[in-house]
Amino acid sequence: MDKEEVLAKSRMENKGRDMPKIEEGKNSARFAIIAGFCFILIMALLSLIARSKMIYGIVATEFCIVFAMSLFNAIKKKERKYIIMTLTNAIPFGIFTFMTVCEIFQIHP
């Protein structure tokens, strides 16, 4: 494939889409995830200081967001790397969700 064919294919794939807006959306998603993890860190430290115990619901919520974003990409793009990323994100999401449910119902497995 020569340069012109690659450019033509790229234009067809991105037809009707504004590249700066797409990049802005990606940057805002990255910022939101980083801000969310910083919030988790602060809340985790506060819960450890105040209760000597971690509040897992906060962590589960953040991993839910990350899992949902990767699941969307896996469904939309159907590429192996996105499917693997979704499965990788599902593990901590599942663990923290399980721990949250145990915390809510005061079950200690």
- Tell me the pLDDT tens digit for each residue of 43-80: 888 988 998 888 888 889 889 988 998 999 899 999 99
13 with 5: CB under 8 angstroms? no
Does residue 85 lie within any of the structural domains?
A: yes
Among 65, 66, 58, CA closest to 100: 58
- Give the pLDDT of residue 16: 64
Q: Is 33 helix (H, G, I), strand (E, B) or coil?
A: helix
Does residue 98 lie within any of the structural domains?
A: yes
Structure token digits, residue 74: 């896996």
Count of structural domains within the chain = 1
Does residue 22 lie within any of the structural domains?
A: yes
85 with 45: CB under 8 angstroms? no
18 has a pLDDT exceeding 80: no
Give the range of the structural domain holding residue 82, as residue numbers without chain letter. Answer: 18-104
Over residues 81-106, the pLDDT tens digits come to 999 999 999 999 999 999 999 988 98
Helix 19-51 / helix 56-77 crossing angle, nearest 10 deg: 160
Does residue 72 lie within any of the structural domains?
A: yes
Does residue 3 lie within any of the structural domains?
A: no
Side-chain-facing half-sphere of 56: CA atoms under 13 Å: 15
